[in-house]
A = this chain, B = another copy of it.
Amino acid sequence: MTTQAAPQVRDSAFDRLYSEVQQFYARHMQLLDAGAADAWGATFTADGSFDVPTLPEPVHGRENLVAMMRRTAAELAAAGDQRRHWHGMLDVQPQPDGTVLVRCYALVFSTLEGGEPRLHRTCVCTDVLVREEGGLRVRSRRVTRDDLR
């Protein structure tokens, strides 16, 4: 991350964007946790990429993303594991080329049926969001886990 204190942006375009990014992630993560693979896949660009340390290599392309999520959702459902993904502390940085860089924190909670809720992961997520057909989509995502360095 840049460690200089950036000038704070106050124009109303930034406010609109900030709320829009929050709403985007809310829906995006609720789709993920609901196992709605196709609708979740539609929140990535067609060539969207996902790079996370639990995968042997980055996943590229919406079809591969949907397939990956479908597998994971099936495994979690079989295990009775309800995951909840929280994004927070969003540092939203509009770029000159119209894309939006977001660096934020992510929490993953896990609850087994009849069990105690558990903090599963704390991560940092860096996304490049782009606008397509009026809405935001993830073009690339890189996740780091705080336990793996």
Contacts and interface: CB of A to CB of B under 8 A. Distances in A.
- Number of identical monomers bound together in the oligomeric complex: 3
Contacts of A82: 122, 146, 149
Given A15-B19, A34-B3, A91-B23, A147 B113 contact: yes
Contacts of A107: 86, 109
Interface residues of A, number: 65
A7 B147 contact: no
A67 B6 CA distance: 21
Q: Is the interface of A mostly helix, strand, loop or mixed?
A: mixed
A64 interface: no
Contact of A90 (B14, B26, B115, B119): B26
Given A10-B16, A86-B89, A149 B3 contact: no
Contacts of A34: 1, 3
A3 B86 CA distance: 18
Interface in A1-48: 1, 3-10, 12, 14-16, 18-20, 22-27, 29-31, 34, 36, 38-39, 42-43
* 6 A-B pairs closest in CB distance: A3-B36, A8-B135, A111-B146, A18-B19, A15-B19, A26-B89
